[in-house]
Every structure is written in structure tokens, then in C-alpha cells.
Structure 1
Amino acid sequence: MNAAPQTPDPRPALARATEQLAELLDGLRPGQLDAPTPCAEFDVRALLGHVTGVADRFANLGEGGSVVGPGVPEWAAGLPAGDWPDTYRRARERLLAAWRDDARLEAVVTAPWGTVPGRIALSGCVMETVVHGWDLARALGRDPGLDPEPAALALATAERAVPAGSRAHIPFDEARPVPADAGVHERLAAWLGRDPHWSPGTAGRGTGTA
């Protein structure tokens, strides 16, 4: 019997996903912080606080600590638009450094969804980073050209981790249908309950968080 395939090393996808998100922050304007996003409970400011918090919590995990922490750090509410690029980049650099040691991928860690090998936990971080990168790109009108490679790992992770059926006890709406030729970001967004066609003009129809 063949062994089950091992989850690939998620670090290259994480590096690209976080780099791409950081690039989206270049030129962020103050008036964009209050803009809606595909996550109904997050405007752009809260979304940025959330993704920075995710990076910090998973850095903690890679350093041997805990992922426990607020969904959106309190300090995010007062951070000016011009400070967000460097703030996120610092969190990104710490996150990537925390997982540089190959041994961390096999070490057992306690992620928000259970006790798993590090590579499984970090794949969840890729999923969050990619889908929230799509959220941000949509909110800023900058989603064309998003890199499909990290999204492919994110989608595979989402399809394993998030059930197709009832989602009553997890922070995602039901999966939405997409056409067969939909791109990987649209398929990921739809699987996680988002409207893959969301735009600022459809705000108010945003969907689940996380």
C-alpha cells in the first residue's frame, strides 16, 4: 500500500503569499482604511490588523510559543495608513525567520484547530494569508495578477480542513458554486464562503471571516 502523500513544505508558498500581501500595502491611502472588504466584519483597517496578528501569532508558534491572541490587535485601530507597510513587513520577516529551521516543520505544535505537525499548522497560515490577500486586493481594486502558486496550496489546505457540508461551528459561510473555468483565487474564496465576484460596489454582501 502506498503511503499517504506528505503535505509539501509550505514555506515557499508562505514567503510568496506574505510578499504579495506586503506589495498590496505600498501606496495605501488613509481613505482606504475604512473601505469594506469581502469579510463582512472587517473593513480594510481591521483586515490589516488581522493579517498582521496572524503573522505574529504564527511567528510565536514557530518560536515555540502560543497562537492565542485577539483576532484584531487593539493597536490596529490607531495606526496611520503610512505605517502599515513597514508594520506588516516586520511581522512577515519575523514569521519567516521563526520557521526557517526545517525541524520546526515536523515538530508537533498546537494550532487553533488542534495539535498537528508544524507543516500542517503553517499550511493553515498560508490559507489565511492567501485568502485575506485576495480580500485586500478586492477591497483595493488590485486583484488582477495575483500569483496562483500559493493559492493552489491554500485551496488544497482549505478543501482538507474546511468541510463541504455544515459549517455551523466554524467561521465560514457555506461554500459557493463557481464555474469550471474559475481561477484558483475565485475557487478558494468560494470554498471559504465568499462571493468570488465581490467588489466594493457589492459591499453589504460580504461573508464569513477567518
Structure 2
Amino acid sequence: MNETQTVPDTRPLFHTALAQIAPLIHALLATDLDRPTPCSEWTVRELLSHLIAVENRIVHIAGGGLPFEVPSTLEGIADTEWSDAWRSRIAPVQDALADDALLAREWAHPAGAMPGFQAIAIYASELAVHAWDLARALGRDAELNQSVAAAVVGPITGALPAEPRGAELGIPFGPVVPVAVDAPPYARLVGWVGRDPQWAPRAD
């Protein structure tokens, strides 16, 4: 892509998606960490491990690195350190995205090579979905910013086919969960990526 060509600046959306996760993490209790999440293979602790790894990966690939040089989950974070671990990575992420030129520059995203503005938008979508995973696990999804979901649901619906899906195909999403066309943006977003918007942890 010609770097003189005007490209969309997807960073404000990304930063808004990132920001809504912080209050959820900072309010966590130790007893929350073993809660199940709508992402069935992860507890809250494992979801946090992935979210913090995503911060690290964004910094790495924004700087020209390859995504799989950075693990997708982290080990060794103590139960009392999740909030600090998240907070300490915010400034590096912001600094990594500060250069306007990276919007047109090619990134080595896990989904393939693409311009930076597109990679940033995909990460905004990922953060939006995982914010819902975390908030739903904690019973706090009413606090999420529906405008974030509204901004990403159209692009992700266009980019992610309804079928085929499956990790074996390199499309690690479950079947679409149908929702009403006038459902709130977050319900439409998570339904499209294979989450049940009505998910709730099983009662003991």
C-alpha cells in the first residue's frame, strides 16, 4: 500500500476497546479467577493470561516482529498481580501505536500480512469480544460500551464467514448463535463469533 494514500485511523476504536477492560481487571477478587467464562476452554485466570499476552504481541508486531515469536498466553503471574500486569502494559501499547506511519505499514498479523490499520481493527474486535467474555463471567456485562461492539460487528460479520468454521480449518470460532436483528450490538457481535449472548455460569 502506498503510504501517501489516506487510510482509516482505527486507533481510537482500539483504545476505547482496550480501556473498557481495565475497570473489570482492577476490580477482580481472588475468588473470581477460577470462574468459568463464555470462552469454554478458559477460566477468568486463563482469559487474563491471554489478554495480557495480546498486549505484548501488539507491541511486538507493531515494531516489526512476527506474532508467533510472542506466546498467546503468559505463565507465572501471581493471583495478586493481574491488575499491575495489565496496567504496566498500557503505556507500551500506546507508545507502539503512536506513529501515524504504522497505519499503512504492513504488519505480520496472525491472520496474515495486512496494513496496520486493518490489524489494529482486528485487535479492537478481539478485545471487544474478550471484554464481553470477562464481563459476562463477572456478571458485569451491562457496563460494557455498546458503541465499541457497534463499530466492530459490521466489519467482523463481513470478514468472518458463517461457515465453514473450526480450529482444524484455521478458523477457531464456533457456529453462529442466531440473535434478533434488532438485538443490542454486543449480542450481535458475540453471537456472530460463536458465543451464546445468554451464557451464564452453571449454578453449583
Normalised TM-score (structure 1): 0.87
Unmatched 5+ residue regions in structure 1? 1-5, 204-210
Q: Which of 99, 121, 132 does residue 130 from structure 2 map onto?
A: 132
Q: Which amino acid in structure 1 is aligned with residue 141 of structure 2?
A: D
CA RMSD of the aligned region, Å?
1.7
Change (3 A) 1:134 1:43: same
Structure-2 separation of matches of 1:23 and 1:7? 31
After superposing on structure 2, the runs of 4+ consecutive aligned residues of structure 1 that deviate more than 6 Å are none
Residues 175 and 190 of structure 1 are in contact (CA less than 8 Å); yes or no, is this contact kept in structure 2?
A: yes
Structure-2 separation of matches of 1:173 and 1:112? 19
Equivalent in the alignment of 1:10: 10
SS for the counterpart of 2:137 is helix
Structure-2 separation of matches of 1:90 and 1:160? 34
Structure-2 separation of matches of 1:152 and 1:162? 16
Equivalent in the alignment of 1:193: 194
The number of residue pairs the alignment matches comes to 195
- Of stretches 151-160 and 127-136 in structure 1, the one that deviates more from structure 2 is 151-160
1:155 to 2:156 alignment: no
Identical aligned residues as a percent: 39
Structure-1 separation of matches of 2:43 and 2:178? 25
SS for the counterpart of 1:75 is coil
Q: Which amino acid in structure 2 is aligned with residue 17 of structure 1?
A: A
Residues 37 and 136 of structure 1 are in contact (CA less than 8 Å); yes or no, is this contact kept in structure 2?
A: yes
SS for the counterpart of 1:144 is helix
1:126-152 Cα shifts (integer Å, max 9, x gaps):
011010000000001111031122222
Change (3 A) 1:202 1:160: farther
1:48-92 Cα shifts (integer Å, max 9, x gaps):
01011111101111122222132211224xx21x32112112222
Structure-1 separation of matches of 2:154 and 2:8? 11
Structure-2 separation of matches of 1:192 and 1:88? 25
SS for the counterpart of 1:109 is strand
Once the two structures are TM-superposed, the CA of residue 7 in structure 1 deviates from its matched residue by: 6.8
Normalised TM-score (structure 2): 0.89
Please give the residue correspondences for 1:32-71 in structure 2 after superposition, counting only pairs within 5 Å: 32-68=32-68, 69-71=70-72
Please give the residue correspondences for 1:89-104 in structure 2 after superposition, counting only pairs within 5 Å: 89-104=87-102
